[in-house]
Amino acid sequence: MFKELKDLIVKSKHLIFFTGAGISTESGIPDFRGPSGFWKTNKPIYFHDFIESEEVRKKSWERSKDTKDKFQKVEPNIGHKAIANIMKKTPNSHLITQNVDNLHQKSGVPDNQITELHGNSTYAKCLECEVRYELAPIYKAFSEKGKIPFCDECGGIVKTATISFGQPMPEEEMRIAQAKTVLCDLFITVGTSLVVFPAAGFPQLAKEIGAKLIIINNEPTDLDAIADLVIHEQIGKVFSNFSID
C-alpha cells in the first residue's frame, strides 16, 4: 500500500496535494467542523452579521483572539513536513488546502505553490481594498481599548483573512485550484472527509480528466469508491519514514 503510494508519487509529473482538517488535528488543532468540533458548541458567526453589526464584530474579534492565544504554539507535524519535502522534489507540484492555520507555509511550502480555499487565520485583510494587516496590533488595540479595526487606507471593515460561513468562496483561489487540477496527473487528498463543497469537487474533477486519485484519511470518505488508492490510517503513520529521492 505504502509502496504503491510512493511509486505513484515518483512517477507523477503534475502532483497535487489537497489537504483538510485531518492533517492539522495531529498538531493539536481541533477539526472545527467534525462531530466534536468547535462549531458544535459555538454558534458560527455568519459573514452577513459580521458586516452588519458592530456587536458581532466585537464578538468575532474576541473569539479570534482566544483561539489565537490557545494555538500560538502549534507546529507543523510529520504530515506537513513530509508533504513539504515531497513537493520540494517534485517539479510542478501544487498544494490546495482547506485549512487556515498556515502550517503548510510554516513547514516550508512556498507561497506560490499553495492555494488556500478558506483563507488564512494568521493575518487580517481589509474587505474593501484587501490591504493586509497583522493581528498583534489589532488584538492589542482590542484588549486595551475595545477598539475593532477599520482600514487605514480606505476606511473599510478589517476581518481575519479567513472565509467565514456565508462568505463567498474566493474567486481567484477557486480559479487557480481549478486550473491546477485540470493539469494534474496525480491528486492526493490528505485528512479531509470530502464533504465540504465546492472544495470537494476538485478530486472529482481530477478523476474526470484522467488523473489518478489517492485518498488518505483515517476514516471512509464519500469518494473512496472512485479512488485508485485508499489509505485509512493516521496521517502521521502514513508519512513516518516516508521519503523520496
Binding site for Zn ion (CB under 5 A): 126, 128-129, 151, 153-154, 156
Nearer to Zn ion, 162 or 178 (CB): 162
Minimum distance, C-beta of residue 64 to Zn ion, in the bound complex (Å): 19
Listed in sequence order, the DSSP H helices in 72-219 are: 78-89, 103-106, 135-145, 171-181, 201-208
Nearer to Zn ion, 40 or 147 (CB): 147
Minimum distance, C-beta of residue 153 to Zn ion, in the bound complex (Å): 4
Q: Which of 80, 94, 118, 232 is catalytic?
A: 118
Minimum distance, C-beta of residue 126 to Zn ion, in the bound complex (Å): 3
104 flagged as catalytic? no
Query: How many CA within 13 A on the CB side of residue 224?
Result: 12
Cα–Cα distances in angstroms (integers) from residue 80 to residues 66, 138, 240, in the given order: 25, 29, 11
Nearest-CA neighbor of 26 among 103, 122, 116, 117? Answer: 103
DSSP, residue by residue, 195-208: -STTTTHHHHHHHH
Nearer to Zn ion, 32 or 47 (CB): 47
What residues are annotated to the active site?
Answer: 118
